[in-house]
Amino acid sequence: MSSRIKTKIIKRNGEEVAFDVNKIINAVKKANQEVSRIHRMNQYQIMAIAEKVAQQVKNSSHAVDVEDIQNMVETGIMEMRGYEVAQKYVRYRYRRELRRKSNTTDDGILSLLENINEEVNQENSNKNPVINSTQRDYMAGEVSKDLTKRVLLPDEIMKAHEEGIIHFHDSDYFAQKEHNCDLINLEDMLQNGTVISETMIEKPHSFFTACNVTTQIVAQVASNQYGGQSFTLAHLAPFVDVSRQKLRKNVVKERKACGESMDDKIIDQITEMRLRDEIEQGIQTIQYQLVTLMTCNGQAPFVTVFMYLDEVPEGRTRDDLAMVIEEVLKQRIQGVKNEKGVWITPAFPKLIYALDDDNIHSNSKYWYLTELAAQCTAKRMVPDYISAKVMRSLKQGEVYPCMGCRSFLTVEDAQRNPDGSHKFYGRFNQGVVTINLVDVACSSEGDMDAFWKILEDRLELCHRALRCRHERLLGTISDVAPILWQHGALARLKKGEKIDKLLYNGYSTISLGYAGLYEMCVRMTGKTHTDPEGKKFALSVMQKLNDKCNEWKAAENISYSVYGTPMESTTYKFAKCLQKRFGIIPGVTDKNYITNSYHVHVTEKIDAFSKLAFESEFQKLSPGGAISYIEVPNMQNNIPAVLSVMQFIYENIMYAELNTKSDYCEICGYDGEIQIVEEESGKLIWKCPNCGNTDQDHMFVARRTCGYIGTQFWNQGRTQEIKDRVLHL
């Protein structure tokens, strides 16, 4: 028989390799040799076992792991009545398992150093797994995950995580007592000064300096937490006039020295010209530094920039903010040059543009900015859009950005600024645990009574896991991350002071994530959640998640909130676990991914406006984080259509984005859409439709992954999901 088949298996260290049937034959032969001659199996029996296992592996709908294969071998030996051989084989497995448990991290670390750990390589689409800083972060992560698994988490939570029943996010940072996302208080740090690396940074005396300080703050914050962070351009806007006054003094001084006219109109014109130059340089500093900075975890800071005109007073300050927003959009449209000198789409910073009365209509004062935003979206996939109108209706009249890609703080009456307004900047998220709703549905086998009982049990399991996240942060002293806790990004605590008070009373949130609402509905009702019957059931489940969060919050004074999880690698993990537990169920477990949060399935044909209107009802029930999208073709020559979508967003949904394509082939210069094709082995690869190039090192592909843009390619599950996406416009 052939020694190899095309099926892939996953080794314990995460490496994906071709299945080799000879390893089965050799393992059984070794066990066979250890028993007395009378109890040994013959060569034909051994080959029959190997052939059966090979066929089972080949017929599997997903890559099986080593444990699966060993279970198949045991069963095969028993079926041949080789009971003594089976006993030897089991003992051999047990001894190997004990040896592995003595140090569970070696293989994982060595495999990532050799760049052969497929799971780690494609875990994060914005991390290059080859470079040293990323590998250092992954090495530390392997140790943290090992400690988390063996020591820090209860067995029931770790078991549920490994089986894909829940997902305990970011266990590679859990040991270090780090938290998730931030909404940094840039205003406090710029206006009142801060400290970076034990160096006092006073209030900037120019817009350019304020931009420079901002990038340093962002880098420091990114190195002390593992999630996204956001800041608003409104906190930079006051420094435009600081520069204006400074520049005007210099112009007056120069003109006096040269005996030039001191006409105020001329002086003002020269001042504004120089001010525009400084704004351009300042924004260029932010864009290029944030793209080129490398934090300690081996990637550019995951940062979002918020652009909301009404966040500053009407008049000069708002007009100054408009100038800053205009420059940000112009520079993002241009993009950044890669090492080949080609203008490409950067992944970060992510941009969010707030739509409101003063910029949403063609006769609005700032309509020109909205037109520019539409051009930017068509070219570079950002900005994304927040409807100030809808957000005010959902968030007690407030408008504020998410932390990173979609994690929103809750509006808390207990958290106020000195002027009495609700406080958002300076708050953060403690972490996330996600429930796999598809597993709940499959475990109940379609029985509604069983579903609600299992859901209740699983939610309590998530609750216990979230308590672990919370309790891990309790007792943390401010000294561990001075930029966060002592110098204004999140608080101004004293040295040695614990952060505990920031974990209660609404100062921070903690998130109950959810995934697979679509597949859950198909399994329970036989219909998608866009069908009236499926929709009613889906909304009732979402309400249940909110009710539980409210119940926990009332009992513990901790701000639990429902969060539409942005699954990247987890979508593949959940899919594989579901297939292993329940087999292939059409429309439920037959893909290598499950659907993010409440989204309409990527293959479902629905127009853009219907999709946004439908999903808006689910955003209301996902207060801790949610984002919707529509998939569109190249829109650069159809800006009016982009503007129509933006106006629809303003009227109907709080937070949405347009997914277009932004690719480049270095071999032939093609700048259209790089396509996903399937190899004979079944593996999905990227291919230039112009020249046939399939070398990922010689192409640039940017795709919206989970609310943010990914540029380092994706695992097979996410790649299939991207391939399956249908256009909505």
Give the residue numbers annotated as catalytic, written as ranges.
180-181, 403, 405, 407, 429, 563, 568, 707
What is the C-alpha separation between 662 and 342, in angstroms, rounded? Answer: 12
What is the H or E stretch that residue 432 is in?
Answer: strand 428-436
What is the C-alpha separation between 589 and 604, in angstroms, rounded? Answer: 16
Residue showing tokens 């940062």: 303
Residue showing tokens 């051994």: 46
What is the C-alpha separation between 688 and 664, in angstroms, rounded? Answer: 9
Helix (H, G, I), strand (E, B) or coil at 195: strand
Phi, psi of 432 (to 5 degrees): -135, 140
What is the C-alpha separation between 507 and 2, in angstroms, rounded? Answer: 62
DSSP state of 674: P
What is the C-alpha separation between 517 and 697, in angstroms, rounded? Answer: 36
What is the C-alpha separation between 442 and 444, in angstroms, rounded? Answer: 5
Q: What single-letter amino acid sits at 299?
A: Q
What is the C-alpha separation between 231 and 225, in angstroms, rounded? Answer: 15
652-666 b/e with 16+ CB inside 10 Å = b?
A: bbbbbbbbbbbbbbb
CB atoms within 10 A of CB 85: 27
Q: What single-letter amino acid sits at 661?
A: K
Residue showing tokens 């919707």: 628
Q: Which is it for strands 662-665 and 675-678: parallel, antiparallel or unpaired? A: unpaired
What is the C-alpha separation between 707 and 528, in angstroms, rounded? Answer: 23
What is the C-alpha separation between 146 and 105, in angstroms, rounded? Answer: 7
As given in the structure block, the two tokens for residue 30 are: 């070794």
* Closest-CA residue to 333 (of 324, 343, 342, 341): 343
As given in the structure block, the two tokens for residue 531 are: 């069908």
Total number of residues shown for the chain: 729
Concatenated DSSP letters of 636-662? TT-HHHHHHHHHHHHHH-SEEEEE--E
Helix (H, G, I), strand (E, B) or coil at 572: helix
Concatenated DSSP letters of 365-376? TTHHHHHHHHHH
Distance of CA 686 to the CA centre of its chain: 22
What is the C-alpha separation between 493 and 406, in angstroms, rounded? Answer: 28
Helix (H, G, I), strand (E, B) or coil at 463: helix
Phi, psi of 534 (to 5 degrees): -65, -40
Beta strands in 585-694 (DSSP E): 628-631, 655-659, 662-665, 675-678, 684-687
Phi, psi of 236 (to 5 degrees): -90, -25
As given in the structure block, the two tokens for residue 330 are: 């112009």
Residues 6+ apart with CB under 8 A from 55: none
